[in-house]
Chains A and B, each alone.
Chain A
Amino acid sequence: MTNPRVLALALAAALTLGLAAGAHGESTASRADPGVTATSVLIGGTTPLSGEASSGSLTARGAEAYFKHVNARGGVHRRKITYRYLDDGYEPARTVQAIRQLVQQDGVFAIFNSLGTAHNLAVRPYLNQVGVPHLFVASGATTWGKEFRRYPWTIGFIPTYTAEGIIYGRYIRKTSPRARIAVLFQDDEYGKDLVAGLKRGLGSAGARQIAAQQGYDPASTDIQSEIARLKASRATVLMVFAFGKFAIQAFTYVDRLGWKPKIFVNAVAASASVLTIASQQGKNKRVEGAISIAFFKDPADPSFAKDAGYKLYRSIMKRYLPSANVKDGYYLAGMASAHAFVQTLQKAGRNLTRKAVQTAAARLDDRKNPFVLPGVRVKTSSSDHYPLEQAQLERWRKGRWVRFGGLVSAPRA
């Protein structure tokens, strides 16, 4: 004999009790910003340690190694940097939870190097409302720089995907104005930014060169049919605006279908390791001659062997990540970003506040970042929230990237 009403009553009573007891004795406001002491500063971020994009988490490890290196030499204004990065499995909903933990529970001073476009979009309004510096977002979406007036606490780092698309478009317009172009792109903000940039770079007349475009769903597993449809357009140039495994698949299927276009591959997929896998020990001839852009030094490029920045990178890797593959560009990319963060802290001064860091991040002018290509400046101003805006074209030759032409820059989107 159960009376549902008894249950309902118990439930109601319990909840009322709970509500009555609910309020915490919290909100102890203090003068210093969270995460800062005289000798330390705690920063945090999210990265996909699990899930499809987990290789991207290597940037966090590279950054962490660089902070350890800086700490060993006394830190910044005597403060040692602790970088706590949490796994979000590349799911925006988990990014939100992790960022709330970092801000509300762990009391981090700033969020740094969090990876992913949707993932950072998910937390941007929150971080801007609380006033937490949201620095050097690991995504090339245009929105970080474009909407900085609305979200002044957020700033990106790498050249935008739009800028990258523009660079390819201009290069094609200059070198092969009659080419028929096929575009494979990831059907989200990232892929669409690249396509929009490409069209701008080609110009109004050149945009007609695009014979076909195919978007693929980032949650799909295989893109063979997209490649087949693009091949049917009889294009002579293929743009691969795709991530990781999809880029590898694109090279593989192009070869298998006997198509011989000139291939451009976007920078986030153009690490030497991806191209090496795609080329299958040189068996896939379509990889040879592929074009991309670079803005960081490529640790797999022997021409940097005597470069001071590369040597610094090697010594940090040897000391703090001894078992890692030093040729993987992700670590170096993380260090480039960490270097910019350290510069920002330097500039923010001895009296470290969130406000000071936000201001400093928009006043960078660094020509000496050891990890970016020679001549590339890390520069921001109150009206320029795009730290990196220069890049160099590169071509895949006999198992490695060879840069060509000078530095190019793209107008802001």
Chain B
Amino acid sequence: MSTGALGQTARIGLFAAAALLIAVLPRFVSDFRASELAYVAIFTIAILGLNVLTGYTGQISLGHGAFMTIGGYTTAVLVVDHGVRDLWTIPLAGLVAGAAGFLFGVPALRLSGLYLALATFGVAVALPAVVRKAEGLTGGSRGLQLFGLDSYTGKGFEPVEVLGRSLSFNDWLYYLSWTIAGVLFVLAWLVLRGETGRAFRALRDSEVAAASSGVNPAAYKTLAFSLSALYAGVAGSLYALASTFVTPGTFPVTLSLTLLIGAVVAGLGSLWGVLAGAVFVQFLPVWIDRLSGVEAAPDWVQRVSKEPGIPSVIYGAALIFLLLLLPGGVGGLVQRLGGLTRGR
């Protein structure tokens, strides 16, 4: 199953090039764009996690937004109500969500395929109501405001000192999110390339065959669930920090679907595609929204794109079109083009 040394080196080179590009990118884009790109990093983390579960282990989750909610609220509650410095809450959010993933993963062992998908979806649907009810802890529908707090780095979008340099708030958000995304990307890669990754894939392809070759399905499935939820929790924590305000509506049910869309666009079982998936879910709505502002666009485009509901229609159409064009997602395309990703 191991690929040749050349493939390995190429992958590291690719990673280094991508990291370098990401590192210098804020120089070439506006300050605001850096904040948008920070969201790409956040979605990258969440979709990476979902990919570990769905793409590699074959367990479909329609409720990953719920784990983001748990991570987001862990951060928000600690920062707002307990004055914990926001940076420390990020790993905590990951651990809390990971634990929730483990707890959910155990009963989920009895479910597979569509039943599991529905069960996870149920969690995603129910959680906002729970959050709204647990007013004492979560602030209910009033939400939790992080903006302006001392425990919130940058307080009111002020410049942040990092390694002796002053970064604008948006750049700070960008580097924070991408650093964590980079670390988690490497972690996912290390996990998936070894024995664990093989076990995950074996489970996905045939649980019976995997079990007969000595893979413990229960252990690996719950591991995948926990790991995946941990990623989602970290993403949720960063999402809360980037949004400055957390309410049940911050993590709507549709967020879970958005993540799955991102994973499918990325190509299930592809790590590099995840970047493309994250760009897709972050920027497509923004681009659609901007259609009406395009001077060159014909009059009817400008008019129609401001009709209620039309952005959703365009989003759906773009998604169908993309999947017709790239049935294996962007990862599948990359695979076909040059075998840059690992073959199955």
- Contact residues of A with B, CB < 8 Å? 1-2, 4, 6-8, 10-11, 14-24, 26, 48-51, 54-55, 57-58, 60-61, 84-87, 89-94, 96-97, 100-101, 104-105, 118-119, 121-123, 125-126, 129, 187-189, 192, 217, 219-220
Determine whether the beta carbon of A87 is less than 8 Å from that of B250: no
CA distance A86 to B175 in the complex (A): 26
Given A26-B168, A96-B245, A129 contacting B182 (CB threshold 8 A): no
CA distance A89 to B284 in the complex (A): 13
11 A-B pairs, CB-CB below 8 angstroms?
A: A2-B11, A11-B16, A15-B178, A24-B31, A50-B309, A50-B310, A92-B243, A94-B285, A97-B39, A105-B30, A125-B145
Determine whether the beta carbon of B27 is less than 8 Å from that of A21: yes
The 4 A-B residue pairs whose C-beta atoms are closest, nearest first, are A18-B23, A188-B141, A14-B19, A54-B308
Residues of B within 8 A of A57 (CB): 306, 308
Residues of B within 8 A of A22 (CB): 26-27, 165, 167, 171, 175
CA distance A91 to B129 in the complex (A): 16
User: B157 — nearest CB in chain A belongs to which residue?
Assistant: A126
B256 close to A (CB within 8 Å): no
Given A126-B157, A217-B129, A54 contacting B309 (CB threshold 8 A): yes
Partner of B248, one of A94, A100, A219: A219
Partner of B244, one of A16, A105, A122: A122
Residues of B within 8 A of A121 (CB): 142-143, 145, 245, 247
Determine whether the beta carbon of B186 is less than 8 Å from that of A4: yes
Partner of B31, one of A8, A26, A85, A219: A26
Residues of A within 8 A of B307 (CB): 49
CA distance A19 to B244 in the complex (A): 23
Task: Please give the distance in Å from B175's CB to the nearest CB on chain A.
Answer: 6
CA distance A91 to B141 in the complex (A): 13
User: A64 — nearest CB in chain B belongs to which residue?
Assistant: B306
CA distance A328 to B247 in the complex (A): 31
Residues of A within 8 A of B33 (CB): 105
CA distance A4 to B32 in the complex (A): 34
Task: Please give the distance in Å from B177's CB to the nearest CB on chain A.
Answer: 12
B interface, how many residues as a size bin? 35 or more
Residues of A within 8 A of B315 (CB): 50
CA distance A105 to B147 in the complex (A): 20
Partner of A11, one of B129, B165, B182, B308: B182
Determine whether the beta carbon of A1 is less than 8 Å from that of B8: yes
Partner of A92, one of B36, B147, B156, B245: B245
Residues of A within 8 A of B293 (CB): 84
Given A49-B311, A126-B147, A17 contacting B24 (CB threshold 8 A): yes
Task: Please give the distance in Å from B126's CB to the nearest CB on chain A.
Answer: 9
Partner of A49, one of B8, B141, B145, B310: B310
Q: Do most interface residues of chain B lie in helix, strand or loop, or is the interface mixed?
A: helix
B211 close to A (CB within 8 Å): no
* Residue-wise interface mask of B (131-160) relative to A, using a CB-CB cutoff of 8 A (1 in contact, 0 not): 010000000111101011000000011000
Determine whether the beta carbon of A87 is less than 8 Å from that of B12: no
Known: A4-B190, A15-B19, A91-B252. 10 other contacts (CB 8 A): A6-B12, A11-B182, A17-B20, A18-B24, A50-B308, A93-B239, A121-B142, A122-B143, A126-B244, A219-B125
Residues of A within 8 A of B24 (CB): 17-18, 21
Residues of A within 8 A of B311 (CB): 49-50, 87, 89
Residues of A within 8 A of B128 (CB): 217, 219
Determine whether the beta carbon of B182 is less than 8 Å from that of A15: yes
Residues of A within 8 A of B39 (CB): 97
Given A14-B19, A24-B26, A26-B31, A122 contacting B243 (CB threshold 8 A): yes
CA distance A302 to B79 in the complex (A): 55
B205 close to A (CB within 8 Å): no
Residues of A within 8 A of B26 (CB): 18, 21-22, 24
Determine whether the beta carbon of A55 is less than 8 Å from that of B308: yes
Partner of A8, one of B8, B129, B186: B186
CA distance A299 to B12 in the complex (A): 65
Given A11-B19, A19-B175, A22-B171, A104 contacting B31 (CB threshold 8 A): yes
Residues of B within 8 A of A17 (CB): 20, 23-24
Given A24-B171, A217-B132, A126 contacting B19 (CB threshold 8 A): no
Determine whether the beta carbon of A87 is less than 8 Å from that of B289: yes
Determine whether the beta carbon of A51 is less than 8 Å from that of B312: yes
Residues of A within 8 A of B44 (CB): none
Enumerate B254-274 residues with CB–CB distance to A below 8 Å. Answer: 254
Residues of B within 8 A of A86 (CB): 289
User: A187 — nearest CB in chain B belongs to which residue?
Assistant: B132
B216 close to A (CB within 8 Å): no
B83 close to A (CB within 8 Å): no
Determine whether the beta carbon of B175 is less than 8 Å from that of A15: yes
CA distance A17 to B24 in the complex (A): 7
CA distance A383 to B244 in the complex (A): 29
Residues of B within 8 A of A14 (CB): 16, 19-20, 22-23
User: A58 — nearest CB in chain B belongs to which residue?
Assistant: B308
Residues of B within 8 A of A118 (CB): 141, 143, 245, 247, 249
Residues of B within 8 A of A6 (CB): 12
Partner of B141, one of A15, A105, A187, A220: A187
Determine whether the beta carbon of B253 is less than 8 Å from that of A15: no
Residues of B within 8 A of A119 (CB): 249
CA distance A11 to B32 in the complex (A): 24
Task: Please give the distance in Å from B341's CB to the nearest CB on chain A.
Answer: 15
Determine whether the beta carbon of B248 is less than 8 Å from that of A91: no
B296 close to A (CB within 8 Å): no
User: B8 — nearest CB in chain A belongs to which residue?
Assistant: A2
Residues of A within 8 A of B125 (CB): 219
CA distance A11 to B288 in the complex (A): 34
Residues of B within 8 A of A19 (CB): 23, 162-163, 165, 167, 175
CA distance A233 to B39 in the complex (A): 48
* Residue-wise interface mask of B (291-306) relative to A, using a CB-CB cutoff of 8 A (1 in contact, 0 not): 0010000000000001
B104 close to A (CB within 8 Å): no
Task: Please give the distance in Å from B79's CB to the nearest CB on chain A.
Answer: 14
CA distance A188 to B131 in the complex (A): 12
User: B305 — nearest CB in chain A belongs to which residue?
Assistant: A49
B15 close to A (CB within 8 Å): yes
Residues of B within 8 A of A15 (CB): 19, 23, 175, 178-179, 182
CA distance A369 to B190 in the complex (A): 66
Determine whether the beta carbon of A50 is less than 8 Å from that of B171: no
User: A20 — nearest CB in chain B belongs to which residue?
Assistant: B165
Residues of A within 8 A of B306 (CB): 49, 57, 60-61, 85
Determine whether the beta carbon of A89 is less than 8 Å from that of B19: no
Residues of B within 8 A of A49 (CB): 289, 306-311
CA distance A104 to B156 in the complex (A): 14
Enumerate B170-189 residues with CB–CB distance to A below 8 Å. Answer: 170-171, 175, 178-179, 182-183, 186
User: A6 — nearest CB in chain B belongs to which residue?
Assistant: B12
